[in-house]
């Protein structure tokens, strides 16, 4: 029987406990500040979503202003649904703004994206201070329903809203969309190669982040009754970002702790007779410290907890007699006239390649021969490659990477591209890009000797990560898998064991394999036929023993450390 994974409930449940205790224990005097802390925590939770996807947003309070504006307008109209529905509407109205600001993120990264979001924050601040919020001119307070009329009741309401949002964020974090955010942060190329649209992953993160900010704005409108532009200034947005970096708002407790810091540290300074502005200086120092250590406060704590966990020992991967490499039948992949130039370098020159169905075919060649370029051209990473590529009779020309993956062409990478923020099971499910049963997952995991599904990718050795990438490609059930040096990081015996398993892939999983490798023992073991590239040109093709005996192949390798004996 499959077990339901409820680990996503853990942090929101603990947050609920904190809210319940605080609702009873916080004295009346501190309730207003405590509610403000929860409002900031809601906005921080949203920042954590774009943070999960590796992006920076400095305009979170601009989205909050949209939410607050919506609530104020619905209040003026006395729209049905009371403050609670108005707040949700505020979140929804903020979402398209999030997508709009997310659009530059499709091309920009790091500091460039930060500058764009800062520009938006500045522009939004000018707009909201030039035009009054609805109801301000007529002194119309945002009305709260009776059951959340008192400060304590409103605190509980804000706390519950935070917990429900946290539950939603944690749940989405466990879905394919959440895995896509982590994957995009780690490698956009690998995310696309796993069949996931990088654009959709980024835009969904921005949209949900803006939704959370919109909720925070609506919550604030209900708390203070009458909102002004000062609530949404650029400096306040910057402070929120800085605290998110310091506390770690990707974690529910990081968001909660951040909200507490934003509200209570300035208050502490005020009581000590020091300017509250010093709080921002303190936050800045904290963020610099977090960036230089490479982890926020919550990430540091999580690392310490992880360090107590024993690292999973990779299962033994013994060579087994996988039989003879299968010879293919009809053509599956057909590439014709592939040509790629990098300036003066002709990386591929008029390359024709046919991979038959039901086979494991090798692609070898000395360093710089053009093997990775060919993989990139086939999988769609080089959009301006000349020539044509067809898979199973269907043209892939002009299709972006994720569409080629969906059409049945999967690839792996020379460098480790398995996102560290996931468990083995979560990664396999994400990269499979289809619904897989637990049995299917266990079958493929076992077949390749990958660590258990509960193990964290972060705890794995390089060899296990390479195998995990191969397992994910198999689990996707593509027509063709292009493996770019899958044995890099594996011991020789493990490479041979992998070769034994690859031989079984066509019959067992219905996928042909194009194996790019420098380990010629592995190639001889796994492949029925091989193709040799040299200086971007195919110089030989046929059965391994025959091809490797050719003098022109030996010449291509001369000077290279790979021996052909
Ligand atoms: N982005 C790039 N810009 C300029 N030149 C490039 C680029 N990528 C590859 N090249 C050049 O194209 C040629 C083919 O490189 P490629 O990486 O495809 O070879 P390879 O056979 O995969 O080598 P290796 O076995 O070392 O991975 C090389 O001369 C390389 O220097």
Nearest residue (by CA) to ligand 1, atom 8, is: 373
The pLDDT value given to residue 412: 93
The pLDDT value given to residue 33: 94
User: What is the H or E stretch that residue 475 is in?
Assistant: helix 462-475
Alpha helices in 175-296 (DSSP H): 176-186, 188-193, 198-224, 234-247, 252-271, 278-293
Mutate to test the pocket of ligand 1, among 338, 372, 482 (most ligand atoms within 8 A of CB): 372
3-class SS of residue 550: coil
Q: Euclidean distance between the first and final Cα of the chain, in Å?
A: 52
Burial class (CB in 10 A: 0-12, 13-18, 19+), 302: middle
The residues with which 423 forms a beta bridge, in sequence order, are 456
Residue list, ligand 1 pocket, CB within 6 Å:
342, 345, 347, 365, 367-373
The pLDDT value given to residue 314: 64
- Evaluate whether 514 touches 411 at the Cβ level (below 8 Å): no
- Evaluate whether 123 touches 65 at the Cβ level (below 8 Å): no
Nearest of 556, 531, 477 to residue 361 by alpha carbon: 531
- Evaluate whether 515 touches 360 at the Cβ level (below 8 Å): yes
For 360, phi then psi, to 5°, come to: -115, 115
For 469, phi then psi, to 5°, come to: -65, -40
Nearest of 95, 67, 407 to residue 227 by alpha carbon: 67
3-class SS of residue 528: coil
Ligand 1: distance of its center to the CA of 368 in Å? 5
Reported as half-sphere exposure (CB side, CA atoms, 13 A), residue 166 has a value of 30
Ligand 1: distance of its center to the CA of 347 in Å? 6
Nearest residue (by CA) to ligand 1, atom 14, is: 370
Nearest residue (by CA) to ligand 1, atom 11, is: 347
pLDDT tens digits for the chain (565 residues)?
Answer: 445 567 788 899 999 999 999 999 999 889 999 999 999 999 999 999 999 999 989 999 999 999 999 999 999 999 998 999 999 999 999 999 999 988 988 888 888 888 889 998 999 888 988 888 998 888 899 999 999 999 999 999 999 999 999 999 999 998 989 999 999 998 899 899 888 999 999 999 999 999 999 999 999 999 999 888 888 989 899 999 999 999 999 999 999 999 999 999 999 999 888 888 888 889 989 888 888 888 888 888 888 887 777 766 666 666 566 677 777 778 999 999 999 999 888 899 999 999 999 999 999 998 889 999 999 999 999 988 899 999 999 999 999 999 999 999 999 998 888 888 888 999 999 998 888 899 999 999 989 888 898 888 888 888 889 899 999 999 999 999 999 999 887 888 888 888 999 999 999 999 999 999 988 889 999 999 999 999 999 999 999 989 988 888 888 775 444 444 4
Ligand 1 atom with the smallest distance to the CA of 375 is: 18
Domain spanning 331-557: which superfamily? Answer: P-loop containing nucleotide triphosphate hydrolases (3.40.50.300)
The pLDDT value given to residue 555: 82
Sequence-separated (6 or more) residues with CB below 8 Å from residue 179? 419, 422, 426, 427, 429, 430
Rg (the chain; Cα; Å) = 28
Ligand 1 atom with the smallest distance to the CA of 369 is: 21
In the chain, where the domains are located: 11-234, 331-557
Mutate to test the pocket of ligand 1, among 373, 515, 531 (most ligand atoms within 8 A of CB): 373
Phi-psi region of 323 (alpha: psi -120 to 50; beta: other; left: phi over 0): left
The pLDDT value given to residue 481: 96
Nearest residue (by CA) to ligand 1, atom 25, is: 367
Nearest of 74, 117, 125 to residue 98 by alpha carbon: 117
Beta-carbon count within 10 A of 545 CB: 9
Reported as half-sphere exposure (CB side, CA atoms, 13 A), residue 522 has a value of 27
Beta-carbon count within 10 A of 143 CB: 14
Nearest residue (by CA) to ligand 1, atom 12, is: 347
The pLDDT value given to residue 556: 79
């Amino acid at each position: 029987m499959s077990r339901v994974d409820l680990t996503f409930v853990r942090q929101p449940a603990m947050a609920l406990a904190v809210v319940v205790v605080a609702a009873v224990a916080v004295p009346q005097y501190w309730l207003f500040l405590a509610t403000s802390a929860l409002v900031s925590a809601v906005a921080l939770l949203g920042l954590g979503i774009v943070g999960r996807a590796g992006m920076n947003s400095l305009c979170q309070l601009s989205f909050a202003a949209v939410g607050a504006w919506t609530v104020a307008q619905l209040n003026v109209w006395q729209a049905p649904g009371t403050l609670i529905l108005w707040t949700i509407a505020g979140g929804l109205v903020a979402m398209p703004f999030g997508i709009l600001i997310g659009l530059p993120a499709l091309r920009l990264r790091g500091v460039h994206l930060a500058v764009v979001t800062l520009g938006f924050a500045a522009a939004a601040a000018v707009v909201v201070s030039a035009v009054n919020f609805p109801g301000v001119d007529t002194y119309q307070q945002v009305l709260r329903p009776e059951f959340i009329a008192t400060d304590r009741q409103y605190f509980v309401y804000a706390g519950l809203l935070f917990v429900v949002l946290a539950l939603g964020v944690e749940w989405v974090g466990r879905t394919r969309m959440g895995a896509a955010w982590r994957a995009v942060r780690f490698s956009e190329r690998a995310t696309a190669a796993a069949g996931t649209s990088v654009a959709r992953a980024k835009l969904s993160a921005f949209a949900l982040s803006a939704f959370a900010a919109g909720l925070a704005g609506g919550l604030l409108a209900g708390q203070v009754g009458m909102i002004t532009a000062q609530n949404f200034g650029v400096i306040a947005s910057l402070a929120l970002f800085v605290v998110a970096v310091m506390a770690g708002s990707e974690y529910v407790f990081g968001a909660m702790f951040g909200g507490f810091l934003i509200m209570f540290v300035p208050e502490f300074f005020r009581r000590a007779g020091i300017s509250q502005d010093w709080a921002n200086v303190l936050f800045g120092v904290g963020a610099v410290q977090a960036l230089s250590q490479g982890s926020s406060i919550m990430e540091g704590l999580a690392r310490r907890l992880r360090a107590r966990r024993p690292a999973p020992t990779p299962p033994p991967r013994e060579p087994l007699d996988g039989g003879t490499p299968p010879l293919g039948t009809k053509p599956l992949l057909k590439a014709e006239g592939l040509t790629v130039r990098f300036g003066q370098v002709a990386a591929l020159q008029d390359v024709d390649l046919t991979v038959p169905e039901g086979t494991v075919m090798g692609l070898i060649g000395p360093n710089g021969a053009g093997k990775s370029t060919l993989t990139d051209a086939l999988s769609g990473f080089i959009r301006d490659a000349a020539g044509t590529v067809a898979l199973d009779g269907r043209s892939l020309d002009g299709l972006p990477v994720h569409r080629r993956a969906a059409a049945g062409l999967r690839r792996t990478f020379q460098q480790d591209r398995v996102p560290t923020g996931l468990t083995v099971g979560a990664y396999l499910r994400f990269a499979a890009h289809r619904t897989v049963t637990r049995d299917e997952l266990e079958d493929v995991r076992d077949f390749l000797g990958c660590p258990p599904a509960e193990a964290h990718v972060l705890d794995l050795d390089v060899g296990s990560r390479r195998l995990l990438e191969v397992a994910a490609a198999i689990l996707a059930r593509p027509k063709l898998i292009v493996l770019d040096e899958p044995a890099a990081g594996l011991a020789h015996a493990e490479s041979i064991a992998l070769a034994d398993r690859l031989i079984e892939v066509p019959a067992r999983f219905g996928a042909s394999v194009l194996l790019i490798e420098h380990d010629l023992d592995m190639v001889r073991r796994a492949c029925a036929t091989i193709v040799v590239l040299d200086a971007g040109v195919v110089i030989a093709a046929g059965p391994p023993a025959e091809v490797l005996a050719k003098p022109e192949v030996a010449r291509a390798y001369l000077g290279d450390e790979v021996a052909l004996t």
